[in-house]
Amino acid sequence: MNDSLSPALAALADPTRRAILDRLRAGEASAGTLAAPFDISQPAISRHLKVMTGAGLVTHRRDGTRRMFRLAPHRLAEIDAWLDAYRAVLEANYQRLDALLAKDD
């Protein structure tokens, strides 16, 4: 099995990493910028970025002493494609979810 989903989903299972990814929707950012909002050490963030890179969720390029990270949408698209198989089952539940989110329950 050519399993690129497992590492990607494992990477996304961490709230810090999801927050980093969220930030990257706004565009490229340096490791330092990405680390700033968090209360954990710089090496910890560096590791998170390495995990995300390994999972194919982000890419990076050098810019002087900084390392600029960028969202790599491919893996998210794969997850989306994986969800397609469940789309039929999900469709019956969208209303319920919408209602729940609306009620902020």
Task: Report the interface residues with DNA, using CB under 7 A.
Answer: 10, 13-14, 16, 30-33, 35, 39-51, 60, 62, 64-67
Q: How far is CA 79 from CA 29, 54, 56, 93, in A?
A: 24, 16, 12, 19
Using CB distances below 5 to 8 A depending on partner kind, what does residue 28 bind out of DNA, a copy of itself, none? none
Q: How far is the CB of 32 from a copy of itself (least distance, A)?
A: 23
CA distance 49 to 82: 24
Asked whether position 99 contacts a copy of itself by CB under 8 A, the answer is no
Beta carbons of 34 and 20 less than 8 angstroms apart: yes
Using CB distances below 5 to 8 A depending on partner kind, what does residue 71 bind out of DNA, a copy of itself, none? a copy of itself
Structure tokens at 38: 């968090």
Using CB distances below 5 to 8 A depending on partner kind, what does residue 93 bind out of a copy of itself, DNA, none? a copy of itself
Q: Quote the radius of gyration of the chain (alpha carbons, Å).
A: 16
